[in-house]
């Protein structure tokens, strides 16, 4: 009787171990399946990577309307990514309002062009490892620099702050300015001309952009770009859930940062004095 009980218990134990092995095998097959269905495989198979970009944010992405060609730091980085994957590059125009939905709806494989890493975006998509640190800072006429040193000085009823719609600049302005007038200007390419022409007092944007725009517009000056109001990082947007594709792009970007490739591209587009 004792031997029979022992045999039954042994058979039961063998069954449980086998069942556990099957469960473990199925669990481990998940990542394999994900790898087989990764966007990376589709990109390599089709021989093209689609990059969504706004084309309105110097020095990261700018569309020359006369030539129809894109230029900028992240445009060159997109070319580097395509070359690393051994595929052709296709740019897909997008806007700041649709920068995230373009990824989630599959209109492009990755979004590039000075995109701030924000929690709201992170909840919908993946971000790559960061490649640049910056923060929000004002830019205004040189003669008005001392007037707009702090948010308290800016947030007054007689001050007009201009913003481009749909991005983090508008979000920051609406969250932090309750008295100042917020003027929405649709064209981010000509937005700084509005300050020069006196149609707005200032703009609050990424500090790195203020440094570039004060060189393009001699009438303007970046206000404390080394001490921005906020801290943020730039990264590239990727489809949520596709860890295989993300790890591949992260490896390419990390390598570009460590080898100096990114710095070389950055220096070719921006000359901060």
- Neighbouring CB atoms inside 10 A of 266's CB total 19
- Does the pLDDT of residue 86 top 80, yes or no? yes
Mean pLDDT of 108-136: 96
The whole-model pTM stands at 0.76
**What is the per-residue pLDDT for 6?**
33
For residues 264 and 242, what is the distance between their CA atoms, to the nearest angstrom? 30
Looking at residue 12, what is its pLDDT? 42
- Cα separation, 43 vs 87, in Å, equals 8
CA dihedral 109, 113, 178, 120 (to 10 degrees): 30
Asked if pLDDT for residue 135 goes beyond 50, the answer is yes
Tokens of 47: 């021989």
Confidence of residue 166 (pLDDT cuts 50, 70, 90): confident
Instruction: Assess whether pLDDT exceeds 90 at residue 60.
Output: yes
**pLDDT of amino acid 134:** 93
Question: Would you state the pLDDT for residue 270?
Answer: 80
pLDDT of res. 94: 97
* Mean of all residue pLDDT scores within the chain: 88
Cβ count near 7 (within 10 Å): 10
- pLDDT at residue 11 is higher than 90: no
pLDDT at 272: 57
Torsion of the alpha carbons at 46, 238, 234 and 131, rounded to the nearest 10: -60
Check residue 36 and give its pLDDT: 57
Q: How confident is the model at residue 2 (pLDDT cuts 50, 70, 90)?
A: very low
pLDDT of 142 higher than 90: yes
* pLDDT for position 37: 82
Cis peptide before 34 (omega within 30 of 0): no
Predicted confidence (pLDDT) at residue 257 exceeds the cutoff of 80: yes
Q: Give 227's pLDDT tier (boundaries 50, 70, 90).
A: very high
Q: Residues 222, 56, 90, 241: is their CA dihedral positive or negative?
A: positive
Region 110-137: what's the mean pLDDT?
A: 96
């Amino acid at each position: 009787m004792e031997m029979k009980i022992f045999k039954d218990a042994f058979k039961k134990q063998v069954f449980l171990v086998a069942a556990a092995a099957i469960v473990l095998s199925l669990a481990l097959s998940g990542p394999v399946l994900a790898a087989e269905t990764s966007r990376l495989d589709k990109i390599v198979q089709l021989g093209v990577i689609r990059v969504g970009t706004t084309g309105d944010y110097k020095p990261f992405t700018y569309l020359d309307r006369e030539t129809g060609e894109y230029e900028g730091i992240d445009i060159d980085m997109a070319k580097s990514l395509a070359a690393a994957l051994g595929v052709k590059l296709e740019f897909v125009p997008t806007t700041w309002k649709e920068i995230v939905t373009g990824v989630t709806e599959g209109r492009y494989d990755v979004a590039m062009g000075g995109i701030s890493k924000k929690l709201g975006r992170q909840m919908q998509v993946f971000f790559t490892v960061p490649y640049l640190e910056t923060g929000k800072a004002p830019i205004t006429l040189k003669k008005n620099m001392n007037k707009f040193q702090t948010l308290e000085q800016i947030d007054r009823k007689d001050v007009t702050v201009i913003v481009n719609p749909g991005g983090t600049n508008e979000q920051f302005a609406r969250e932090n300015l309750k008295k100042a007038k917020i003027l929405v200007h649709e064209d981010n390419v000509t937005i700084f001309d509005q300050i020069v022409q006196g149609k707005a007092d200032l703009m609050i944007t990424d500090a790195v952009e203020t440094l570039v725009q004060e060189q393009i517009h001699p009438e303007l000056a970046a206000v404390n770009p080394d001490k921005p109001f906020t801290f943020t990082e730039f990264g590239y947007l990727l489809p949520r859930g596709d860890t295989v594709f993300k790890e591949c792009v992260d490896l390419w970007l990390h390598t570009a940062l460590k080898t100096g490739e990114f710095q070389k591209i950055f220096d070719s587009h921006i000359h901060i004095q």
